[in-house]
Structure 1
Amino acid sequence: MFRPHPSGSIAGTPNSEPQNVQHVSQQGSQRITGKLLATQGYVVGIEVSGSGARQSVALANLDGEILYRVRRPLDYVPDSETVLKLLDEMLADVTGHERLQDGRILRVGVAVGGLVDSTRGVVRTLYHAHGWDNFPLQDYFAERLDVPCIIDNNANAAALAEVQRGVGSGERVVLYVGLGRGIGGALVVNGKIYHGETCTAGEIGHMLVRDDGPACSCGHHGHLEAVASARAIAGRMIGLSVEYPETVAALQQLTGGRTERLTADQVFRLAASGDRVAQHIIDEVHSYLGIALANIVHVVNPGMIILGGSVAKAGNLLVQPLQERLQHLCLPAAVQSLRVVQGSLGSEANILGAVTLALQDV
């Protein structure tokens, strides 16, 4: 399998001073992943989507600047073996010798769109893909690349990036909500991700918000993800529109006749233009998302809530109503300094988050 450098082990690199800490992997082997005081070299960021159908690999310098990136989306949901083979090919491209002019690869960070045990480096599951249950992804990349690897949930990674280099800079307690195909969340306190006892902190997409709600990707019913994710918003819009000819016509015009490609952002815009079906759906999104966030606000008391992911492209059509709902639902003291904002990193948040993970120990 691919190795980017014949002497890739960082322990002997002349441009770094390792302060080594040993970690025991799931298989019981020990690996050095201590902190480096590096002056030159690179890190690699890897993004694996929740469906496994979208992945990115980026080469970055030690300032976190992406120097080269490869994206390889697929038109189908692949198994884990297919994804890993593709990632190996992408890594070979990104870390070719001609690109490594200022040292070697020091760290790899991986942002995964699923449930991750970051302390053991294991993907517990991807809700929208198969073949990933209890997969030791951290060990996989560490062995392939012969450098330490850090993996985490993509919402945690994106949150860290927003706090360190985005709209959350300078904030002490930040709640990040990733509203994409699924819904993820992350809590960052004093610049550090709060993982919880079993690394499930922030899984707000699986908060129960509606007893009689639709089925969630995890198999339960009534979770936030089932009513407020991009997939849920578009699917519900298409499903409800069939009884309303004017709405069907609007969807056809908006999508160029390809309603299967309808986006959540388009549904928000339809609602703003006065379409009653879209307004009903978006009112539900605001309502259930507001309930979930209000409960978290009373427990955590964040100073900022950052909304990311494809749904957040709606901007103030999403942000402003949520800010108003929280003011209404929460104790005044809990929201007196709370700001709800749109993430500043956009679609780059996950891959920049992966790079940020890699830089945590550099």
Structure 2
Amino acid sequence: MLATQGYVVGIEISGSGTRQSVALADLDGNILYQLRRPLEYIPDTTTLLQLLEAMLGEVLDPEHLRDGRVLRVGVAVGGPVDASQGIVRTLYHAHGWDNFPLQDYLAERLNVPCIIDNNANAAALAEVLYGAGIGERVALYVGLGRGIGGGLIVNGRIYHGVTSTAGEIGHLLVMQNGPKCSCGGYGHLEAIASAQAIVRTMIGRAVEHPATLAAIQRLTEGRAERITVGQIFQLAAEGDEVARCLIDEVLTYLAFALANIVHLVNPGMIILGGSVALVGEPLIAPLRERLRALCLPAASQHLRIVQGKLGPQASLVGAVTLALQDL
């Protein structure tokens, strides 16, 4: 690292545009100050950018910048990004972001070089440099949240592919004529194994099973729509048949997707992040067994499947990490 004094800024924009975070970090990647501002509604582009500018104004207060200036800004975006051009291709759950030149917009506004990438790529980089994957030469990060994203890190670098779509594991086709995905396709992994898909499927199936519905009402204090993936795993562990079958399906299709990647890429580690991964071993242990059964021994014998260490901070730490690259 050539620079010895100053700061970087990390920005996280969620796929729905309803959750923004801004962090100021030193050149060792330590976050010194951060803001998180959720919105109760899905904003348009202008509203979101105005909110970000207000947050940046607060973070970049001269009081916080006593040891120099901001050298670079990194942005982790919850949707497809053309990292080479700095363009947000779209946010599936928000409006007005199609082919938006966010990198140029922020660089011009802040008069600082800016780098943007997909949030799963950013989280992947952060986990390999600072989290669960330290020292891994080839690591796959899978973010199992509202959607499903992935990032492939090879020799400490994000592997982007030709058009920055490498790692889009959420859009792997795993079930012919399966449920509709946020991108408009059918049978994609995201439509089956994301937190949103698991909860939606559970609530839909519980309607026809009074005992399961009663159990959900008990767990959620009558707010069935608020059930979490963790609570669904809990119901499965308690023997609820509807929950057990659903979790079995999720594990099956997730294992199919991961087995294909293991044979294609041969990673040493798969890091699971996002809200679904917070379940921990009840998710990871059966996934390990399934992959052992599905993969050639040579492809899986040194493979480790682990929970990410950075938790909900992974994308924001990733944004900071993007800003620090080659500084």
Query: TM-score, normalised on structure 1?
Result: 0.89
The letter of the residue matching 1:334 is: A
1:256 paired to 2:231: no
Within the candidate set 11, 35, 43, 1:78 is matched to: 43
Does residue 193 in structure 1 map to residue 193 in structure 2?
no
Distance in 1 (CA, whole Å) between partners of 2:272 and 2:27 is 27
Output one character per residue of 1:38-79: Cα deviation in whole Å (capped at 9) or x when no partner.
111110000000000111001111111111111110111111
Structure number with greater Rg is 1
Q: Which residue of 2 aligns with 1:7?
A: none
CA distance in structure 2 between the partners assigned to 1:257 and 1:85 by the alignment:
37
Q: How does 1:198-347 map to 2 (within 5 A)?
A: 198-347=163-312
**Post-superposition shift, 1:350?**
0.6
Q: Match for residue 124 of structure 1?
A: 89
Off by >6 Å, runs of 4+ in structure 1: none
Q: Residue 31 of structure 2 aligns to which amino acid in structure 1?
A: I
Question: Is structure 2 residue 16 aligned with structure 1 residue 51?
Answer: yes
d(CA) in 2 for partners of 1:291 and 1:172?
23
Count the aligned residue pairs.
Answer: 327
Superposed CA offset, 1:190-245 (max 9, x none) = 10000001100000100000002100000010000000000000111111101112
Task: Tell whether 2:28 aligns with 1:63.
Answer: yes
- Amino acid in the other structure paired with 1:43: V
Superimposed CA distance per residue, residues 120-142 of structure 1 (whole angstroms, 9 cap, x where no aligned partner)? 00000111111100000001110
Q: Which moved more, 1:264-273 or 1:211-220?
A: 264-273
Determine if the alignment matches structure 1 residue 351 to structure 2 residue 316.
yes
- The amino acid of 2:51's aligned partner reads L
- AA paired with 2:160? H
> What's the counterpart of residue 8 of structure 1?
none
Q: Which letter maps to 1:151?
A: I
The residue type paired with residue 95 of structure 1 is L
Structure 2 alignment gaps of length 5 or more: none
Which residue of structure 2 aligns with residue 37 of structure 1? Answer: 2
> Which residue number in structure 2 is paired with residue 110 of structure 1?
75
CA RMSD of aligned residues (A): 0.8
Q: CA–CA distance in 1 between the matches of 2:289 and 2:142?
A: 17
1:180 aligns with 2:149: no
- Tell me the distance in 2 between the aligned counterparts of 1:165 and 1:341: 14
Q: TM-score, normalised on structure 2?
A: 0.99
Distance 2:260 2:309 in 1: 25
Letter in 2 for 1:261: R
Give the letter for the 1:76 counterpart: Y
Aligned to 1:136: 101
Q: Which amino acid aligns with 1:316?
A: E
Whole-angstrom CA distance in 2 between matches of 1:148 and 1:66: 19
- Alpha-carbon deviation of 1:361? 2.6
1:170, 1:361 → 2: CA distance?
18
